[in-house]
């Protein structure tokens, strides 16, 4: 449980952090809340030669409304998102998801950017960020680019971030009227991570039917994904118990299922369906 030897720097500006990454590339790793990276280093799964601690970049921790979006700085902690009264009004899925993460200590130190960049297959944020159709703003020493959430999660613990890039901001479009959200999760009894977690965003038409739905699933496969089969089955239909249950049967369509001590592949498929149904029912009931 002792990490391999490493050097440590704590830059005070984003530009400084980016030039360190440009110089050291694969040899360097960003340190945010440290709640995933430090355990990985202690187990020697990660052995970076240089840690670039961005904890002093306080201007990367914010929640703003701008351009029809909620903009969240990558260093915003889970707790800051959980406790935002304004977010509960305008984008309640963010605080609901944040509150489901680990325990108070984890939520106080862990950051949304760190969680997304880590892309743990059982992390909560990826499900919500996919369901909200968010956009990741990433920066490097040579510029900035936007990556849609649906292209961001590439594989187990792998994202579209290049070694010289920092995730700077997450942009979430403000939900349209008549939209309800929910996050439903079966937490692992020891760690709190999602054995299965489903985030749903449901928009009703004026007649109450489903105008659109987006569903993000975590814990089920090597990476979080959009359950497109569920979304298609819901679109245009009534949002009664039967219709939602029918759509939820597609929650694990087309994915390779994880299998571990917490749940077999078959049980996970079952859980995906059950938690998709619960999340969609709750989201549909929350449309005001
Ligand atoms: C006991 C325990 C229980 C937990 N339970 C849960 C849970 O229930 N649900 C859940 O989702 N998570 C859980 N976590 C994980 C927790 O949410 C972490 O905080 C989170 O996954 C990582 O965020 P961090 O800020 O700590 O990142 P770090 O650990 O500092 O970094 C994680 C990775 O992301 C990279 N990185 C960090 N920030 C950036 C950035 N801005 N740009 C580019 N790369 C970056 C780092 O280089 C590293 O590879 C738990 C952790 C612990 C220790």
The full DSSP string for 271-287 is HHHHHHHHHHHHHHHT-
210 φ/ψ angles, rounded to the nearest 5 degrees: -80, 110
Please answer whether residues 113 and 72 qualify as being in contact, where contact means their C-beta atoms are separated by less than 8 angstroms.
Answer: no
Four-way CATH pick for 7-53: 3.30.43.10, 1.20.120.330, 3.30.565.10, 3.30.70.1350: 3.30.43.10
- Please tell me the distance from the alpha carbon of residue 223 to that of residue 217, in angstroms, as a whole number: 9
> Facing residues of 139 across strands?
144, 166
Please answer whether residues 87 and 94 qualify as being in contact, where contact means their C-beta atoms are separated by less than 8 angstroms.
Answer: yes
Report which protein residue has its CA nearest ligand 1's atom 17.
Answer: 110
Asked if residue 114 has its Cβ within 6 Å of ligand 1, the reply is yes
Sequence-distant (6+) residues with CB within 8 A of 105 are none
Asked if residue 107 has its Cβ within 6 Å of ligand 1, the reply is no
Four-way CATH pick for 180-285: 3.40.50.2300, 3.30.390.50, 3.90.550.10, 3.40.50.2000: 3.30.390.50
Only one residue has tokens 């309800």, namely 180
Asked if residue 115 has its Cβ within 6 Å of ligand 1, the reply is yes
| Ligand 1 atom closest to the CA of 188, numbered from 1 | 8
Question: What order do you get walking across the sheet with 50-53 strand by strand?
Answer: 7-9, 50-53, 28-31
Domain parsing of the chain, residue ranges: 7-53, 58-173, 180-285
> Hey, which of 47, 114, 129, 145 would you mutate to test ligand 1's pocket, going by the most ligand atoms within 8 Å of its Cβ?
114
* Four-residue CA torsion sign, 41, 104, 192, 128: negative
Q: Which two tokens stand for residue 165?
A: 């890039």
Asked if residue 29 has its Cβ within 6 Å of ligand 1, the reply is yes
- Please tell me the distance from the alpha carbon of residue 197 to that of residue 194, in angstroms, as a whole number: 5
What is the model's pLDDT at position 214? 98
Sequential pLDDT tens for the chain (288 residues): 899 999 999 999 999 999 999 999 999 999 999 999 999 999 999 999 999 999 999 899 999 999 999 999 999 999 999 999 999 999 999 999 999 999 999 999 999 999 999 999 999 999 999 999 999 999 999 999 999 999 999 999 999 999 999 999 999 999 999 999 999 999 999 989 999 999 999 999 999 999 999 999 999 999 999 999 999 999 999 999 999 999 999 999 999 999 999 999 999 999 999 999 999 999 999 997
| Ligand 1 atom closest to the CA of 60, numbered from 1 | 41
Please answer whether residues 201 and 172 qualify as being in contact, where contact means their C-beta atoms are separated by less than 8 angstroms.
Answer: no
Helix (H) or strand (E) holding 113: helix 112-118
Asked if residue 37 has its Cβ within 6 Å of ligand 1, the reply is yes
What is the model's pLDDT at position 254? 95
How many other CB atoms are found less than 10 A from the CB of residue 23?
12
CA distances from 146 to 185, 227, 265 (A): 29, 22, 34
Q: Which two tokens stand for residue 231?
A: 């979304």
Asked if residue 32 has its Cβ within 6 Å of ligand 1, the reply is yes
What is the model's pLDDT at position 1? 81
Asked if residue 102 has its Cβ within 6 Å of ligand 1, the reply is yes
| Ligand 1 atom closest to the CA of 40, numbered from 1 | 29
> Hey, which of 48, 51, 110 would you mutate to test ligand 1's pocket, going by the most ligand atoms within 8 Å of its Cβ?
110
CA distances from 57 to 76, 107, 221 (A): 11, 18, 33
**Hey, what CATH topology would domain 58-173 get?**
3.30.465
């Amino acid at each position: 449980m002792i990490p391999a030897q490493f050097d440590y720097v704590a830059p005070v500006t984003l530009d400084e952090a980016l030039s360190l990454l440009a110089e050291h590339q694969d040899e360097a790793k960003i340190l945010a809340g440290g709640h995933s990276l430090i355990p990985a280093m202690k187990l020697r799964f990660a052995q970076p030669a240089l840690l670039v601690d961005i904890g002093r970049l306080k201007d990367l921790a914010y929640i703003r409304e701008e351009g029809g979006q909620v903009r969240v700085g990558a260093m915003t902690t889970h707790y800051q998102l959980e406790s935002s009264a304004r977010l509960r009004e305008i984008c309640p899925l963010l605080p609901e998801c944040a509150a489901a993460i680990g325990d108070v200590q984890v939520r106080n130190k862990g950051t949304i950017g760190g969680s997304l960049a880590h892309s743990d297959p059982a992390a909560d944020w990826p499900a919500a960020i996919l369901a909200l159709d968010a956009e990741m703003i990433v920066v490097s020493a040579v510029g900035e680019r936007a990556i849609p959430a649906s292209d961001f999660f590439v594989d187990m613990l792998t994202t579209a971030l290049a070694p010289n890039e920092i995730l700077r901001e997450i942009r979430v479009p403000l939900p349209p009227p008549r939209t309800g959200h929910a996050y439903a999760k079966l937490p692992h009894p020891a760690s709190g991570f999602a054995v299965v977690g489903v985030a749903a965003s449901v928009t009703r038409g004026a007649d109450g039917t489903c105008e659109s739905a987006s569903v993000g699933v975590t814990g089920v496969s090597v990476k979080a994904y959009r359950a497109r089969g569920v979304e298609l089955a819901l679109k245009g239909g009534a949002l009664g118990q039967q219709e939602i249950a029918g759509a939820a049967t597609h929650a694990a369509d087309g994915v390779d299922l994880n299998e571990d001590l917490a749940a077999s592949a078959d049980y996970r498929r079952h859980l995906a369906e059950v938690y998709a149904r619960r999340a969609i029912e709750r989201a549909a009931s929350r449309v005001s």
